[in-house]
Amino acid sequence: MAPQDNSREHRRGLTLIEVAMAVSILAIMGALTWGSIARSFDAYETVTDIDRRYHNIRVAMNRMARELSMAFLTSDQRHRNSRTGRKWLTHFKADPRGDFHEIHFVSFSHDILRSNAKESDQNEISYFGARDPDDPEVENLMRRESSIIDIEWEEGGRAYPLAENVTSFKLRFWNDRSQDWVDEWDTENTEFRGRLPSIVEITMTCDDEDGKELKFVTKTRINLTAQLDPI
């Protein structure tokens, strides 16, 4: 009689405990891997948000410095058109209002974006703070520009956010006569009539990723500080 094959007795499958342990190990490895990937995504989003915010502030600072450096004034004789009698005004008015300065001025900084456009390089510019329409707790730095200089120097043109989520916007002006910094400047005031500050200091602050105040400061020199008289 041939001997019985007992190899089947030595064969056995995975027990339920072994399957459960394997699944648990795989689940732990998956959770650890996903946690690492999720942290990488969070870090990437944080770094991207920080870079976007800082880039936004730097671009706004550079633009304001360029536009303020090209500010100008003209004398009263230039403000009236001899044919129509219509007046237009140049001005430089900066007023501290809480955490946000408000400034209105005219400049040679208008960018002509269309060929054959009936526009010059002169413009009216305003910077001021305004609440974000989507989040009332957020303050944005606004920029208004009008390519037409007229009497209504606080109106007209188009306003849009120049920098978002800004906590403060401060300006200081160097007064050559008193050799000191001042917080406001108004060319309709006798003290400042007919002249502009030689240097403007711009300070903007925002909150960093940890909620701490982060300050950006730059200075720009105004090229034409005296008013332009008629030829």
Question: Burial, 231: exposed, middle or buried (Cβ in 10 Å; 0-12, 13-18, 19+)?
Answer: exposed
> Distance (Å, rounded) from C-alpha 126 to C-alpha 185?
14
What is the per-residue pLDDT for 231?
52
What is the per-residue pLDDT for 47?
58
Burial 19-57 (b: 16+ CB within 10 A, else e): eeeeeeeeeeeeeeeeeeeeeeeeeeeeeeeeeebeebb
Q: Which residues contact 149 (CB under 8 A, 6 or more apart)?
A: 88, 89, 90, 106, 122, 123, 124
What is the per-residue pLDDT for 56?
85
Q: Tell me the torsion sign for CA atoms 50, 52, 56, 62.
A: positive
Q: Tell me the torsion sign for CA atoms 222, 223, 224, 226.
A: positive
- List the pLDDT tens digit at each of the 231 positions of the chain: 555 555 555 555 567 777 777 778 887 877 777 766 766 666 556 556 666 778 888 899 999 999 999 999 987 655 555 455 556 678 899 998 888 999 999 999 888 777 777 777 889 999 999 998 888 888 999 999 998 887 776 777 889 999 988 999 999 999 999 999 999 999 989 899 989 999 999 999 988 777 788 899 999 999 999 888 755
What is the per-residue pLDDT for 82?
47
Please list the alpha-helical segments (H only) found in 1-82.
7-10, 16-69
> Distance (Å, rounded) from C-alpha 72 to C-alpha 195?
9
